[in-house]
Amino acid sequence: MTASDVQCNGAGFVRSNQREADLMTSHSVLDGAEPFLLEGSSTGILISHGYTGSTQSVRYVAEQLHRIGGYTVLGPRLAGHGVSPQEMDRTRAQDWVDSIDEALGTLRQRCARIFMMGLSMGGCLTLLSAARHPDIAAIVPINACVYFGAPSLAAKAYDRSAPRFFDSIGADIKAEGVTELAYDEIPTSTLAEIYGLMSVARDLLPEIKCPALVLQSTEDHVVPPDNGNVIVDGIGSDDKTLIWLENSYHVATLDNDKDRIVELAHRFFERLPQ
């Protein structure tokens, strides 16, 4: 499998029958889940939220990087997200990939150099994009997933008798009083989609040649922390580093390490050659 296999519905990805414009016909975007664009320099950052989440989870990191680094920062809303679980039920992995590709197109019109960051599935999409798009200058996946260590979840993904929706585990955040804007129900149909996405991203890790800073929480109740090791070991770049976040759970971009993430990412980006 090569990176080109993923494009245009490759690697088994199938688009939903309706694209994003159609998905918006019955529901409006939740307050706080809107996509955002922070205009800045000719160096751009695309930062992606995760599975069932929203742009709210990455907005703080984006705003701080824009403030201290002057970057142009784009936070897309992934197809089916930030609306309702019913709308997400109508999307497939290719729709999420398309959301990222469209956002990259927007940044390319504004920026000469592009970095990518992503939380959880957003980190998985970041890895996949870096393998597919050689023009991405560097990546920072945060608690990215290339495998789940939950056999019961895998069984549910391919169980046709499973209910249409099941309860989310809720926001996995260590800091008290902090909440994530995310769905409280997960569409069962999308489980197989994220499993397929993770599998393809894992297979394509050797094709990632750009510098990579992998950030992983030591205690993560959603993604097995060993994902960090698997990712950094698999990436084909010679410039790759794994740093552990010791004071946050899964949604680290809203948690106790959020400012550390900003500092680490900024320092990483600034050390790279122009």
Task: Please answer whether residues 269 and 238 qualify as being in contact, where contact means their C-beta atoms are separated by less than 8 angstroms.
Answer: no
Of 109, 130, 111, nearest to 43 by C-alpha is 111
Q: CA 121, CA 146: separation in Å to the nearest integer? A: 9
Task: Please answer whether residues 129 and 100 qualify as being in contact, where contact means their C-beta atoms are separated by less than 8 angstroms.
Answer: yes
Residues β-bridged to residue 38: 73
Q: Is 239 a catalytic residue?
A: no
> Which residues touch 150 (CB under 8 Å, ≥6 apart)?
none
Phi and psi at residue 142, to the nearest 5°:
-120, 115
Which of the following is catalytic: 120, 129, 168, 248? Answer: 120
Q: CA 176, CA 102: separation in Å to the nearest integer? A: 36
Q: Is 250 a catalytic residue?
A: yes
CA angle 116, 8, 10 (to 5 degrees): 95
CA angle 147, 151, 152 (to 5 degrees): 125
238, burial (CB in 10 Å: exposed 0-12, middle 13-18, buried 19+): exposed
Alpha-carbon radius of gyration of the chain: 17
Q: Is 5 a catalytic residue?
A: no
Which of the following is catalytic: 220, 248, 255, 257? Answer: 220
Structure token digits, residue 216:
């992983």
Q: CA 73, CA 65: separation in Å to the nearest integer? A: 8
Catalytic residues: 120, 220, 250
